Amino acid sequence: MSLSEQQVQQIITRSHETGDYSALVELIPYARMIGMQVTRLGNEAFFTLPRQDINIGNPVLPALHGGVIAGFMEQSAMLHLMMFMNSEVFPKIIDFSVDYLRAGLYRDTYATCQVWRQGRRVGNVAITAWQTHSSEPIATARAHFKLD
Amino acid sequence: MSEIELRARRFLSVLRHCQHLQMTVERADEDGLVLRLPYSDQIVGNPVTGVIHGGAITTLMDTCCGISTVCYLPEFEICPTLDLRIDYMHPAEPGKPIFGFAECYRVTPTVIFTRGIAYQDDREQPIAHVVGTFMRMGKAVDPADLGKRIDQGDA
């Protein structure tokens, strides 16, 4: 199942050219498994995690698994960096910190990212995830990525 | 099998996403919890190298820290995650399972502080270090009696 670097490069390049990153998301098995999607609107990007049975943690509420919410946020941050840096490679995660503010119910979840600092070697990204309104996040997170 | 290990297994068995990832309990006692996450193609984060996605490791460690509370609490309580921080030491080696270890290093009436590591062959060379804080909601906050089901084995 592993792809050559060249195949991946081609898809990344095409995504940057067209502004449609769905093929890139499809390329990442984890992103495909949790079912996330990306929409680019001008210079902004929105990430969506449609509700999906296998993403449930606590079945009684039911609620999404906190780890899936975190994984979605981490992947959103990584894609966001790639999109706006025109990066040809996957940034590598250094650290990730998430605060859970509300239960992530069994609903569609959205995320947006803010790059606070992008150096030559390291990027700092803040991520907000919400379900009903962006002013009522279910989780906020920040991550550092190695860029080179 | 000890009561603690039984409760940890039942707890893990109700978490749907963990079942999807085929996580299992390796060990659970008064000293903490060890979970196992098998390697699979669906949790790969880098399609070129086959390295597992950080999100799968976060899920393993959130679950591990969360379930480690049963090693320290006399009865099951719902303990949602307040926050979780992961520091990645080096990428996981493709094709091999990842183990998560977690322990509670401070239990108060309102919060539980946990810490742990993710590792593969050598516990002295962790893939990641983790700290997580969990909120104690008490036994009362469990509308569907998930705790009773886990304590009594109906889950």
Does the interface predicted TM-score (ipTM) exceed 0.90?
yes
Superfamily of domain B3-152: Hotdog Thioesterase (3.10.129.10)
Q: Which residues 111-140 of B are in CB contact (within 8 Å) with A?
A: none
Per-residue b or e along A17-29, where b marks 16 or more CB atoms closer than 10 Å to that residue's CB: eeeebeebbebbb
In order of their start, the domains of chain A are 5-146 (3.10.129.10)
Q: How many CB pairs under 8 A join A and B?
A: 136
More confident residue, B155 or A77: A77
Q: State whether residue B15 sits within 8 Å of chain A by CB.
A: yes
Q: What is the pLDDT of residues B127-153, one digit of tens each?
A: 999 999 999 987 766 656 677 667 766
At residue A23, φ and ψ (nearest 5 deg) are -65, -35
Q: What is the pLDDT of residues A81-104, one digit of tens each?
A: 999 988 888 999 999 999 999 999
The model's pTM is: 0.94
Mean of the pLDDT values across residues A43-63? 94
Q: Is B41 helix (H, G, I), strand (E, B) or coil?
A: helix
**For residues A113 and A123, is the Cβ–Cβ distance under 8 A?**
no
- For chain B, which residues make up each domain, given as ranges? 3-152
Query: Which has the closest alpha carbon to A141: A93, A108, A107?
Result: A93
